[in-house]
Homo-oligomer: A and B are copies of this chain.
């Protein structure tokens, strides 16, 4: 594979689709599928075949025209793009409320090479306990623990009012990237990537799709009515 990491303009949408392709390839490998066309990958992931080819071409040359992609080979290369195999991403969570707990409980991220190694909170009742075997430390211990454990990713799951403080402490500790679940925009040094996750976006998207599905059903019904009326 000839990588082209220098490209400046890889969109979030491309990265999202690459993550979807990775999940799909992992599933196909488990099912024993060995060869896959871009058309098949497209139909399984809801993209167009052209989109799949274009996305992959951003990162280099995969597979061969006519013969399709080798599932295991492509999976390994897409994994490498996400840094899997290269390293395991150690994560910590700041804030062990219901959201922080839900994130630790969710087993999904482990499959992709992410591992929670520490959690932090200011509540004395939580400090010293464990959530799903992950130790909960005082926020004062963050810098020491993050450095000692070489934590790469800091997940912010605190209320909006504490989010910026959490981000500042994480950066001072030398964190490599931040995933922010607090409803508060965060600005840190340009060198440290911050991704803010806003779940309300998913609700907005769904409301849009509901309206479209219902509009389509009404249009279809109107066509049927017109047809039966003209008979």
* Contacts from A to B (Cβ < 8 Å): 5-6, 10, 12-13, 15-16, 18-20, 22-23, 46, 81-84, 89, 91, 97-99, 101-103, 105-109, 111-114, 152-153, 176-179, 183, 191-193, 195, 197-215, 217, 219
Contact = CB atoms under 8 A, between A and B. Distances in A.
Contacts of A183: 106-108
A89 B152 contact: no
A197 to B, nearest CB: 5
A75 to B, nearest CB: 13
Q: Is the interface of A mostly helix, strand, loop or mixed?
A: helix
B19 A112 contact: no
8 contacts: A5-B212, A19-B200, A84-B207, A106-B199, A152-B210, A153-B206, A176-B214, A195-B206
Contacts of A219: 6
B208 A15 contact: yes
A13 B15 contact: no
A6 B218 CA distance: 12
Nearest to A198: B108
Q: Closest 9 CB pairs between A and B?
A: A99-B102, A193-B209, A98-B101, A98-B102, A177-B210, A19-B204, A13-B13, A108-B200, A98-B98
B209 A195 contact: yes
A105 B99 contact: yes
Contact of A20 (B108, B109, B201, B214): B201
B97 A102 contact: yes
Nearest to A197: B202
Contacts of A12: 46, 205
Residue of A97, A109, A114, A211 ringed by the most chain B CB atoms within 10 A:
A211
A56 to B, nearest CB: 14
Contact of A83 (B19, B20, B192, B207): B207
Contacts of A207: 82-84, 89, 113-114, 153, 177
Contact of A112 (B23, B81, B203, B210): B203
Contact of A206 (B22, B179, B212): B179
Given A193-B209, A215-B5, A203 B98 contact: no
